[in-house]
Structure 1
Amino acid sequence: MTSPRWDLVYRPRKLPRWAIVAAVIVMAIHITFGLLLTIEDVGVRNLGSSDQVAIILIGVLFTGAILLLTRPRLRVGAEGVEVRNLVPTRLFTWDQVLGLTYPEKGFGAWLLFPSDEHITVLAVQANDGPQAVEAMARFRELEERYRGTVRPAN
């Protein structure tokens, strides 16, 4: 199976950076507290090495969850619009999509569908500034090319 050719591939700029910083901090905290349990002067004497490992493993789980924020991506091409938020990747054909907009009080852009339905596109966020605006403009150009019409921006 051949992969579709994508005219636009957009990933957020700031969210992955913040997610990596947060993941490092969370992991450092869990490792530190896991290792500090070996000190006799903390007042807790009935904790063992299994508790240390458990605290560190909980940190690994939290870190993995935080690192999911590095995954968001928007891809646009002739086949449609592919959105990957945290885990799922979904492809929407052009006949399903009405457009991409940024809500006034939103965290990310919305991919619009008929019947006033939408999904949040975590890849396109206002805090990315001019890059996000450029991605929105490029999306609208491709939407016009592949759909022939563009829904007016809100």
Structure 2
Amino acid sequence: MSASTSTNGFVQVRPKRVRNVAVPAAIVVFVVCGVAAVMLRRTSNGLLLTVSDQVAMVGIGAVLAGLILLSLRPRLRADENGVEVRNSILTHRYSWSDVRGVSFPEGASCARLELPDDEYESISAIQSFDGEHAVRAMRDLRALRREIGHIEG
């Protein structure tokens, strides 16, 4: 699900436009590495690549494509119990009592949860690149926070 969902005390958001860039980029990287592995059997300077070199090149393409696809993982889930923020690698869960606010600082690439002691958690699921989708997601998240009694402050 790439859209923001807000129904009866539940908000789920995933980045929208990053999919349009990450999937084709991952495919291109993988295909280029595969083609290079096949075409570089013998180089112009006489260097002979073995089958293991070709397999390694395809493997490198797969790893790079996988790293690019990590940009599709971010997700935010919020309900009456708290907020779960999954960025590219790590997932954190916060109760609403630990969330001091939800902000999108000017010039920032993504939103963030304001936490105690001047700390914050970036919300990669809500990206400035997504425009109106990000605005709607912020509205939904703030509305849920108000609805359960944790007013923005």
Query: Identity, % of aligned pairs?
Result: 35
Q: How many Å apart are 1:37 and its aligned residue?
A: 1.6
The residue number in structure 2 matching 1:61 is 63
The residue number in structure 1 matching 2:18 is 15
Distance 1:103 1:48, change over 3 A: same
Moved over 4 A (4+): none
Matches within 5 A, 1:5-154: 7-38=10-41, 40=42, 42-151=44-153
Unaligned runs of 5+ in 1: none
Checking the alignment, whether the CA contact within 8 Å between 1:6 and 1:75 is kept in structure 2 is no
Higher relative strand content: 2
Q: How many Å apart are 1:6 and its aligned residue?
A: 6.2
| Matched pairs, number | 146
- Equivalent residue letter for 1:13: K
Cα RMSD between the aligned structures?
1.6
TM-score (norm 1): 0.88
- Equivalent residue letter for 2:16: R
TM-score (norm 2): 0.89
Q: How many Å apart are 1:36 and its aligned residue?
A: 0.8
Unaligned runs of 5+ in 2: 1-7
Checking the alignment, whether the CA contact within 8 Å between 2:9 and 2:144 is kept in structure 1 is no
Residue-by-residue CA offset, 1:23-82 (whole Å, 9 max, x unaligned): 0111011001111122x4633433211101111101111111111111111111011001
